Structure 1
């Protein structure tokens, strides 16, 4: 079976090669919810099973509105979601185009693996349509950017990134439910989160040969835009349609953080990976206490953060090896407000273990 060791390699892979720029095709037909296949009323997004992108994945331009304001109560939420979904859909589309059945069977994986990848791609295309239709026709419907995931034709690295992106998807969908203003939006986010969970369960069982159960609850993280911000690393600079709003909006532009667990020492070491965006521990007061706040399941745990070593104690109270930990650096215990978070988030993926 496929080794989990390349997950870490994939997460650390640097993007090096710009992909061809997308067509800037502004297709107003997408503003019509009756144009093309409708999710739930057509099998296009279930079993399309062709290499070319299913509708609307082959239409990459932003849809220009008749006005510039946000008309619908949840338009901003769905704009952020649509921008994130373009990246996720494009990841799967690149995988469908780059690989074939033997790409995965040569890794010792089932001969159904490529078909499953295509089916997930089709699901993600349906998510695009759902999010597009959820934005009112007088608000901008963001189009696709160009994305570089750095897998360079390597199926092993692609599979590692796949499970990582599915975990990220569940994390931000759970958080975005808290931002919704109407019940239909909340229900839609939960329904799509359930589909993403199925995708991840398939990967854990068939690809990673691991137990898919991660305890009684997936992780709830209250600041979804901080998770969405992590997907910006895959965008080729300057490749997004000019009509697209800032993504995510609002954006904090926090110092990027990764977390390295040293369980033998009982420590977590944080690395701030952007040399141009480093935390300033002394901007408010030199003797201020900072904290590493770990979210897991429906709880969070706060540990003192040492600004000299960039370390905190490992949150051993949580179930070891189960699910996902999301860590941030905050200037208040429990990171109770958006403004209290000053760096992060760092995703500590415990399934698959790496």
Structure 2
């Protein structure tokens, strides 16, 4: 099988598995315990936190929280900021292409009396900084914009957005970086980011561990009740083995990012060329093929208008190719992709999107195989096309 669904989850790295097993065997004490075993566990927990901080210049170890994943980090950031900043105003700005863990959380706040503006994207999946600034009001307390879109791979101009928010003053800026760490450069200090979310299983780490950066002078309201762990914001006994393994995965991902990006941009170009040779398929998202453009290196999204995407995915699976449709969190829905609709694409095109996402195990041979199988699948499915669905 060729696994092309790295945006959903990645195979854990061998070094990460080994590290997690070693820590699990040796450091099983509760890091909140006062005895030696507990303090040893606490020490390696804080060492993992320091490793994470070192990967993002300008941040301090105490500004990083460990969570259960990207969804929890996004929820904590948005709900916590909303609760602490409500006195300033009860207006949020986000985009129409956010992951459900952001989009649905903002919708939930609207039901609690907040107002929200959802900035659309252009046809390449990019939201302009000007449009974000235009959505601000005197009541805006928080802006949440993802760094890399999880469906089409579009890179949002977070540095420019952060600069505009800085000029406006006193507006918190949250960035969902779940799909960006290890794929594109991340500069939190330079982008003036106040809150940042990431997840270990998107880059070779264990599931169940996420990161949340909270700028030191920003106070979050409490989402959970319980103990004092993670500055009291995420109570509960920390999963020390998984956290230490996650810190290693983040370190390896950031260190290898430049080389990985160069290699994956070449694979992306090869796949897009293969898609262009199949008239029935239409690429979605930015056409940029290199670093510094509008697209992440590891994601390609395309549509087969008139064909249900799950049919394509299951046909590819029969040929040993594992791909996906929308985000894994939304894949069971029969609705058209909200992201593709927000980009101004037709309902027919938004109803037939397929996502391919690369990993370190992929090379020219694997992408050539994917292109070959796409051609075969399309030829088999052509008689089944349903235009105007």
State the TM-score, normalized to the length of structure 1.
0.28
State the TM-score, normalized to the length of structure 2.
0.26
Q: Relative contact order, CA 8 A, sep 6+: which one is greater?
A: 2
Q: Bigger radius of gyration, 1 or 2?
A: 2
Q: 1 or 2, which has the higher helix percentage?
A: 2
